Amino acid sequence: MSTYVDSSALLKRYVEEADSGAADALLRADPEMLTARHTIVEVRRNLARLLSGRDLAIARGAFSDDLRSFSIIELDEATCESAAAISETTGVRTLDALHLAAAQRISAPGVTFLTFDLRQAQAARALGLTVVTA
């Protein structure tokens, strides 16, 4: 099984939030994790917004270590065009549309979409993705 992980789920691994324990358990349960290239920007931006000093350095290091075990989906022209169409039809935000387009690109039996963003989860289901959330 493989899991596409969006930023809302991954961020919970480094910042204590509601459902952080559930997110961490789901992330540890699947050795084959995927995410899109822009997740790096989203997570690092949010880490810098939410943490500082030593906490930020530790979280950034843990995130960097975790990324080594992820397969990264590049945001090529086809993925961005698909994201534009998804955003037009579902109304999701730009970065969420990029996640959905990347997940659709690798969509195959056994691939799940992990998110804690309710709007994104609804859009993912509407697109036929199998959604995992707490």
DSSP labels for 40-80? HHHHHHHHHHH--HHHHHHHHHHHHHHHTTEEEEP--HHHH
pLDDT score at 101: 96
Average pLDDT of the residues in 82-94? 97
List of domains in the chain: 2-132 (3.40.50.1010)
Q: Is the pTM of this model over 0.85?
A: yes
Residue 73 β-bridge partners: 36
pLDDT score at 93: 96
Mean pLDDT of the chain: 94
Under a CB-based contact definition with an 8 Å cutoff, are residues 70 and 27 in contact? no
Average pLDDT of the residues in 39-56? 98
Cα–Cα nearest to 97, from 116, 67, 75:
75
β-pair type (111-114, 130-132)? parallel
pLDDT(65) > 90: yes
Average pLDDT of the residues in 93-106? 95
Question: How far apart, in whole angstroms, are the C-alpha atoms of residue 49 and residue 62?
Answer: 17
Task: Name the amino acid, one letter, at 39.
Answer: T
Distances (CA, A) of 60 to 2, 25, 73, 90: 24, 20, 20, 32
